[in-house]
Amino acid sequence: MITLTSDFGSPYPAAMKGVIRRHTRAELIDVAHDLPRGDPRAAAFWLRFVLPEFPPAVHCAVVDPGVGTDRDALVVRAGAHVIVAPDNGLAMPPARALAGDDEDVEVRTIAVDDPASATFHGRDVFAPTAARVRVALDEAGAAETGPATDPEAVADALASMDDLSPASDPVDIVFPEPSVERENGDVVAVDGEVLAIDRFGNVVTNVPGDLVRGRDWVRVDGDLTPVAETFGAVDPGERLVTVGSHGYVECDVNDGRGDGAFDLRPGDSVRLVPDNVSL
């Protein structure tokens, strides 16, 4: 299995699939090709959410504002999974999530033979590399045997690929942890950060859902906002706080865009205060 993720839109990913099919008949599964353009941080967030649902696989992920520059291309082993991606940090948060254990993440660079005229690295570098990794895994017997795939076998297969070499200092993206204030054991405030905006304008924060679940109201940067399990709990156009499918607190608008209503962008800080405390 090879999963494919990019910000390429359409029909570019099909060119990557064609290239892969020249190397291997491994199953291809699209994760998304409409990720925010040129935003490795958003890609890292969504991949960290989605990839751990899969059994061991090769994941080809290309969101690459640095195309045309001399950033490296990476092959990252995370347990029995392998991520093929540009060296801009997007691979690291999902790799840590896939490995479960930071010790089980191993990063290698691909020797890229890049004449000046090559311009579509997704097709010309990342897709064929993902295909060759898949073939190497299959040949090494680390085939798609599901959750039982042995990380050691995957590591050995990668070690056998001559054009991979250990990465010295890969770029990393680290998502901040929220800061939780407590008084007598009760949460009185959480200072979080916006991790991503989804395509509906929902504002995804780094605040775990448990901190608002069961409450009726919460102050978002001072403004009292209802907490609800469904958008329909508030009128169209009204703001709400909910817990997204990813488990984090979202600042949303029913039938509208939360990013506009809350004036929040990726990287912004956001303070959540339970209403029973500060009112």
Query: Could you tell me the sign of the dihedral formed by the alpha carbons of 196, 200, 203, 206, in that order?
Result: negative
> Which residues, other chains included, contact 191 with Cβ-Cβ below 8 Å and sequence gap of 6+?
178, 179, 181, 269, 270, 271
Q: Which is nearer to a second copy, 93 or 108 (CB)?
A: 93
Residues 6 or more apart in contact with residue 121 via CB below 8 angstroms:
62, 64, 67, 73, 86
Q: Which residues lie below 8 Å from residue 244, measured CB to CB, with a gap of 6+? A: 202, 204, 209, 250
Q: Which of 181, 229 has the CB closer to a second copy?
A: 229
Least distance between a second copy and beta carbon 128 (Å): 11
* Cβ at position 18, least distance to a second copy in Å: 3
- Name which of 176 and 247 has its Cβ closer to a second copy: 247
> Smaller CB distance to a second copy: residue 118 or 161?
118
Question: Cα–Cα distance between 45 and 174 in angstroms, integer?
Answer: 10
Look-up of token digits 């959410």: 49
Number of C-beta neighbours around residue 162 at 10 A: 7
In angstroms, give the least distance from the CB of 102 to a second copy.
22
Q: Least CB distance from residue 233 to a second copy, whole Å?
A: 9
Closest to a second copy by CB, 120 or 217: 120
Interface with a second copy (CB under 8 A): 1, 3, 5, 9-12, 14-19, 21-22, 25, 27-35, 38, 46, 49-55, 57, 65-69, 116-117, 119-120, 122-123, 146-147, 198-200, 209-210, 213-214, 229-232, 243-247
